[in-house]
Chains A and B, each alone.
Chain A
């Protein structure tokens, strides 16, 4: 994903000029950028752990991984809540006019739908996981010391109902992640508009 111009130092105090279109594109706030990369990588990692751990035979390793997966999931849920509040109070930079006008209607729709969908799933996936754990009779004790409440009753039937939903929503989230990455690569390698620099580190 490297293009020398996209990660060049800013040309002006609050903007940079990149790519063929010399429209200045403001970066996201550094906190937004940090949240994006930390949560993005963590969620992908957690998905991978989830896939791996469900295939393990019954063993102490499996028990350990399941608990770590839950602790990480709840922690990321809390971070996502913080991220949502941050997002609602810190409007991201608008799409540069030149880039936006170059995007057909369906692409703009996909842009919004993917991001909204991701935010929805940032909450749906861990909440479903938490509910599944509670319903199965395994309350979450964060880091082994802080008991979290069960917000659903213990019920084998309910657990069986929720289990596939946690898995499905996690796969849906990863599908959107792939779509999101594909979109970013499209801007970077096809449009060559330097848009992804908005989510890079460096001077605003």
Chain B
């Protein structure tokens, strides 16, 4: 009777297969990063958000059916310098008290080639929403799939750096957002 157990296991798993395609993937926070590069009087300054979460339902075989969402704690922003970091939560910058989260919600996912995808969606920071198209490159290694890419945003669109800091000769309007997102549970590319 022992052979029944593996058989029943396989049969039971088969029932889950179609549902697995719509299952959520899991973020691996330790191997993930969401960062940004701003330019201050020509000087590239790197920063990142230490705390974020992802809700990803992604099927490489059916990208159009995918749903990708991110939530970032704006209070976790850091430039690596203490005296600058205490400024970021203030109303003139991220206004963390009023807008503790920044979000991304995908509206469409397109496959460009074997490893490249295009994710269109809405980026919402400090109460302002803007459409973005994010190019994503996927790489699979074992059970982990890593999505990398970068895209520019205009900080003034989101009112990040207001009043005297809206001077773009001090801090450029364009900020490059970079990400490296590690996920488990992604189907084969």
Task: Specify which chain A residues have a CB less than 8 angstroms from the CB of B80 in the assembled complex.
Answer: 136-137, 154, 156
Listed stretches A110-118, A122-130, A138-146; interface member: A138-146
Shortest distance from the beta carbon of B156 to any chain A beta carbon, whole Å: 15
Quick check: A139 and B44 within 8 Å, CB to CB? yes
Residues of B within 8 A of A145 (CB): 42
Mask, B71-101, CB within 8 Å of A = 1, is 0000000011111100100000000000000
The digit string for A144-175, where 1 denotes a CB below 8 A from any CB of B, is: 11000000001010010000000000000000
Interface residues on A, range: 10 to 19
A77 to chain B, nearest CB (A): 18
Q: Is the CB of B45 within 8 A of A144?
A: no
**What is the bound-complex CA distance between A138 and B40, given in angstroms?**
9
Q: How far is the CB of B44 from chain A (nearest CB, A)?
A: 7
**Cβ of B170: which chain A residues have Cβ within 8 Å of it?**
60, 63-64
Contact A67 B43 (CB under 8 A): yes
B residues 139-189 in Cβ contact with A at 8 Å: 164-165, 167, 170-171
Within 8 Å CB of A64, what residues of B?
41, 170
Secondary structure at the B interface, as helix, strand, loop or mixed, is mixed
Please determine whether A60 and B165 come into contact, CB atoms closer than 8 angstroms.
Answer: yes
Which secondary structure dominates where chain A touches chain B?
loop
Note all chain B residues with C-beta closer than 8 A to A143: 42
Give the Cβ gap from B90 to chain A, nearest Cβ, in Å: 9
Q: Which residue of B lies closest to A160 (CB)?
A: B82
User: Do B81 and A63 touch across chains, with their CB atoms under 8 A apart?
Assistant: no
Determine whether B46 belongs to the interface, using a CB cutoff of 8 Å to chain A.
Answer: yes
**Docked pose: A70 CA to B56 CA in angstroms:** 45
User: Taking beta carbons and an 8 Å cutoff, which residues of B are in contact with A?
Assistant: 40-46, 79-84, 87, 164-165, 167, 170-171
Partner-B contacts on A (CB < 8 A): 58-60, 63-64, 67, 136-141, 143-145, 154, 156, 159
What are 24 A-to-B residue pairs whose CB atoms are below 8 Å?
Answer: A58-B87, A59-B164, A60-B164, A60-B170, A63-B40, A63-B41, A63-B170, A63-B171, A64-B41, A64-B170, A67-B40, A67-B43, A136-B81, A137-B46, A137-B80, A137-B81, A138-B40, A138-B45, A140-B43, A141-B41, A141-B44, A144-B41, A145-B42, A156-B81
- Return the 5 tightest CB-CB contacts between A and B, nearest first: A144-B42, A141-B42, A60-B170, A137-B80, A141-B43
Known: A63-B170, A156-B81, A159-B81. 9 other contacts (CB 8 A): A58-B84, A59-B164, A64-B41, A67-B43, A137-B45, A137-B80, A138-B81, A139-B44, A141-B41
